Amino acid sequence: MVRAIHDDAPTAGTFVDTMVEESEAIVRAEAAAGTMRPSSDPRALAVLNILIGLAVLTMPPPLARALGSERFGPDVLANLDADGRAVHATDLHRRHAYADRYGLVDCCASVTTEGELTHMGITLPNLTPAQQSVFITLGSRAIDSRLSHPFLGDAMADEVIRKTGYDVADLPKFGAMSKVFDPRTLIFDVAVRAKKLDEVVQRFISHHPDAVVLDLGVGLDTRIFRVNPPSTAGWYGIDFPEVIDLRQQVVPQRTDVHSISADLTEPHWLDDLPSDRPAVIVADGLVPFLPQDGFVSMLNHLVDHFPSGELAFNAYTTFAVKAAKGYLGAGSAADGMVNPGFDDPHAPEQWAPGLTLIEEIFLTRVPENAGQTLPMRLWSRLAARSTALSRRGTVVFRYRF
Ligand SMILES: C[S@@+](CC[C@H](N)C(=O)[O-])C[C@H]1O[C@@H](n2cnc3c(N)ncnc32)[C@H](O)[C@@H]1O
């Protein structure tokens, strides 16, 4: 697409025309609804929005050089805020400002020994890159809960991250990038995919109140409180021992939850779980951290263990894995991303016979997009028309077995 725009190809013309038409329609609708300042020239405003959106796609090298860097990355974004000017590029025309990182973060942690943080009597263990990724997802849901109109609204996520003393501004996403992007743009995917996975669990339990629920790679997630299952269901959260230990210190405990300390790629953690009840199995943010052979053997063990059920997880395409590694950078959770990702949602059916794909939940097509920023609403409306484009964004795959 970047090359097509550069060459002024007909496909680029259609793309830009569609974006402008849709943008203008939204600008007019929002002005009529009173959610956006009316413009004397809605078409020009639509073109300006598209210009800003496409500049990031088409001009990063010259833009970066203009700010004294060779490539466009977090350092360039930080430069944009060099003397305290917050650049709200995506929300130039909306009436309300949003909280920046200083409004979002008020945790106070203190460093004790190298790499260990203590806060309110809790010592954060030294975590591997894969284990550190818990803060990306928990931090996103915490920030979501602080929005005036959250997508997920999980206030407990905020309480939990405050208890750990972890400063979300330390995450690549919420440091420099929070100066440029509206927080809704940064947390939408994590908050909404969690909501979709919650809905999968809720729907399954409503049909099978005796279901076994597995949250694979549970981290510090508070899904059980969001779903609030009946006591007839059996709920299991599985993660590495270091993460389960931390979880027990910072996540409120419920007597009807079982925590299992295990490496999911090992076979025996399933041995003591009921094998005569239907299961609903979710994995939020887990897949990129599993080696491919471990992922495949885990799928087979799950399908073999339970008589029937559903499995749902947010998928990572090969492109998504590369993109995530790129923006997280070396020395971060990216170092733990060992799975190459996969592009065909039917691939797990081959890896674990018994699985059947029953739904792809494209985040471009969910109603929660109405709460997104204008450029992101435009992008998702456009991408929603194409399955191929939608698959490049966040997708939750749902399988039956
Ligand atoms: C991105 S975090 C997501 C955590 C949680 N699901 C959430 O949404 O906040 C990925 C989680 O997967 C866990 N994980 C990765 N590989 C694992 C494995 N082989 N066995 C158990 N847990 C694993 C990590 O420790 C981490 O808690």
CA of 180 to the centre of ligand 1 (A): 29
Run of H or E residues at 20: helix 10-33
Looking at the fold, whether 225 and 348 belong to one and the same domain comes out as yes
**Which of these three, 55, 71, 91, is where a domain ends?**
91
CA of 262 to the centre of ligand 1 (A): 11
Average pLDDT, the chain: 83
Domain boundary among 76, 91, 106: 91
Same domain, yes or no, for 84 and 216? no
pLDDT bucket at 112, cuts 50 / 70 / 90: very low
Task: Write down which residue in 43, 58, 91 finishes a domain.
Answer: 91
pLDDT exceeds cutoff 50 at 91: no
Residues 191 and 340 in one domain: yes
Are 68 and 208 contained in the same domain? no
Structural domain boundaries, residue 84? 2-91
What span, in angstroms and rounded, lies between the C-alpha atoms of 97 and 105? 17
Tokens 């991408």, residue?
Answer: 383
Residues 206 and 83 in one domain: no
SS3 content of the chain, % helix, strand, coil (to 5): 50, 10, 35
Residues 85 and 193 in one domain: no
148 domain residue, yes or no: no
Structural domain includes residue 233: yes
Report the pLDDT averaged over residues 335-359.
Answer: 96
Tell whether 219 is covered by a domain: yes
Distance CA(294)–CA(213), nearest Å, equals 21
Domain contains 173: no
Given a cut of 90, whether residue 53 has pLDDT beyond it is no
CATH number of the domain at 269, please. Answer: 3.40.50.150
- Pick the range with the lowest mean pLDDT from 117-126, 147-156, 329-338, 376-385: 117-126
Residues with CB under 6 A from ligand 1: 130-131, 133-134, 136-138, 217-219, 221, 239-240, 243, 263-265, 284-286, 289-290
Same domain, 218 and 78: no
Residue 127 lies in a domain: no
The two tokens of residue 27 are 């600008």
Do residue 256 and residue 391 come from a single domain? yes
- Do 74 and 203 fall within a single domain? no
Confidence at 92, pLDDT banded by 50, 70, 90: very low
| Structural domains counted in the chain | 2
pLDDT digits (tens, 9 = 90+) for 177-223: 666 678 888 899 999 999 999 999 999 999 999 999 999 999 999 99
200 and 86 in a common domain: no
% of the chain with per-residue pLDDT over 70: 80
- CA of 98 from ligand 1 middle (Å) equals 30
In a domain, 311, yes or no: yes
Q: Is the pLDDT of residue 95 over 60?
A: no
The closest residue, in CA terms, to atom 16 on ligand 1 is: 289
Atom of ligand 1 nearest to the CA of 141: 9
> What tokens does 215 get?
């949250």
The residues, ordered by sequence, that sit 6+ positions from 48 with a Cβ below 8 Å of its Cβ are none
Residue 256: inside a domain, yes or no? yes
> Does residue 97 lie in a domain region?
no
Q: Cα 72 to chain center, whole Å?
A: 22
Torsion, Cα of 337, 342, 348, 352 (10° steps): -50
pLDDT over 80 (residue 159): yes
